[in-house]
Amino acid sequence: MPMSFRKARPEEPEINLIPFIDVLLVVLIFLMLSTTYSKFTELQITLPVADAEKLRDRQREVIVAVSADGRYSVNRKPVEGRSVEALTAELTAAATGTTDAVVIVSADATAAHQSVINVMDAARRANLPRLTFATQTSSGGEAR
């Protein structure tokens, strides 16, 4: 009986994906457990911190508070309007009788930059060149 031999077809290589998927899942779990997640913003600004404390002379201080929405108060008295002229008039009135008053700007951390610039401009117009900014200490108290 004659035997007929067929040519053996080469087997196509088979790619087993299950071990590959297992390795990827292990790497993914490792990265998820070892990565710290934090929210990134374009620019992150917090209230300035200063630990230095200084003795203050309250008689020569003019405290200007700037709220987050841009309202002003001079020595805890609200300023009508948000113009530089109104703020200049209030600063001039608050500094009468003192020759070297110090203007302390106590601005909210989220106050607009323009609001603080307006206080600086008003202090210059009121002839009050000594200006400083209020900060909070790292422990939460207030320092100047």
What's at 13, amino acid-wise?
P
Please tell me the CATH code under which domain 58-139 is placed.
3.30.420.270
Among 25-29, 41-45, 110-114, the minimum mean pLDDT is found in: 41-45
* pLDDT at 43 (0 to 100): 46
Residue with tokens 């998927």: 21
Q: How far is CA 34 from the centre of its chain?
A: 27
Query: What would the pLDDT profile of 63-94 be if each residue is shown by its tens digit?
Result: 888 888 888 888 888 888 888 888 888 888 88
Helix or strand run (H / E) with residue 77? strand 77-78
Percentage, residues of the chain above pLDDT 70: 76
Judged against a pLDDT cut of 50, whether residue 11 lies above it is answered with yes
28 falls in which pLDDT band (50, 70, 90)?
very high
For the entire predicted model, the pTM comes to: 0.55
Kindly state the tokens that stand for 111. Answer: 């106050």
The span from the CA of 96 to the CA of 126, in Å, is 10
The span from the CA of 3 to the CA of 115, in Å, is 100
